[in-house]
Amino acid sequence: MAIVYDKLMALRLPDAEVAYAARDVMLYALGVGLGQDPMDEDQLSFVYEKELKVLPTYASMIGYPGFWLRDLPTGVDWVKVLNGEYEVRLAGPLPAAATVVSRMRILDVIDKGADKGALIYTERTTHEKASGRLIATTLQTVFCRGDGGFGGPQRPARPVHPIPERAPDLVCDLGTRPETALIYRLSGDYNPLHAEPAIARAAGYPRPILHGLATFGISGHAVLKACCGYDPSRMAAIAGRFSAPVFPGETIRTEMWRDGAVVSFRARVVERDVIAINNGRVEIRE
């Protein structure tokens, strides 16, 4: 089965109503590596229920619709799907517990050609159920490596945020653990690519890779630490483009450039000297 453009654009994605609690917030933080140093009280505040803080990138998992590219009639070869780009825009600090309603829609589908794959652009808005208050908006580009050439529109991809040409102003190294992907997936992204060796090999990888949004969360942690003093209320938005996979156990070096209220960043895998996230952009509330 291949992508049918009109059918995919008309696909109705069901709303997700989800209640999350402190345990879910802490599990997510553990999944992106916080708490590895038990004496670091800044990190402890995200993984311990006393005066609990919520990582801004947790918005990517609140009301997550599940693996809809596999579970719904999309025509997509889900084994070859990767995150392309991701953006989170925050209305304010995330509550430590809430019931939320998440609504997702497909904005566009671009056919890059038979040998180049396809891009699916989506938007997800998440509101607190009781008040109707907007919590976050997430924009995602899905890279479907095996689905180009279906006869859809071939518009250019959207422009990306440029990285400054000077040396980074700040650098932060954060390590991952061999079981990081297995912990992270418990927050709701159960794609077997990140757990099952046979699926990883079928997708062209020697072993399971880390979720792109886990790498995104780790870089978000680095910016929160280096530029926001671990104050989640100061991060208004974060976006980045996924450019290479990370294997659990590798070290992620986040390089940052500070220009007023904007922090540009990229994430480098130290062990292989490859860029895992590029063209990153964070908006800081002063």
> From the candidates 24, 189, 252, 280, which is the catalytic residue?
189
DSSP codes joined into one string, the chain: ----HHHHHT--PPPEEEEE-HHHHHHHHHHTTTTSSTT-HHHHHHHSSTT----GGGGGTTT---SHHHHSS----GGGEEEEEEEEEESSSPPSSEEEEEEEEEEEEEE--TTT-EEEEEEEEEEETTT--EEEEEEEEEEETT---SS---PPPPP-PPPPSSPPSEEEEEE--TTHHHHHGGGS---GGGT-HHHHHHTT-SSPPPPHHHHHHHHHHHHHHHHSTT-GGGEEEEEEEE-S---TT-EEEEEEEEETTEEEEEEEETTTTEEEEEEEEEEE--
Domain 5-284 has CATH 3.40.470.10: no
Mean predicted confidence (pLDDT) in 108-126: 93
Residue 80 is predicted with a pLDDT of 87
The model carries a pTM of 0.92
**35 in active site:** no
pLDDT exceeds 90 at position 224: yes
**212 in active site:** yes
Residue 244 is predicted with a pLDDT of 95
**238 in active site:** no
Residue 115 is predicted with a pLDDT of 87
Mean predicted confidence (pLDDT) in 126-147: 94
pLDDT exceeds 80 at position 193: yes
Q: Which residue has the higher pLDDT, 54 or 73?
A: 54
**115 in active site:** no
> From the candidates 135, 209, 218, 238, which is the catalytic residue?
209
> From the candidates 127, 194, 211, 221, which is the catalytic residue?
194
Residue 152 is predicted with a pLDDT of 85
pLDDT band at 1 (very low <50, low <70, confident <90, very high): low
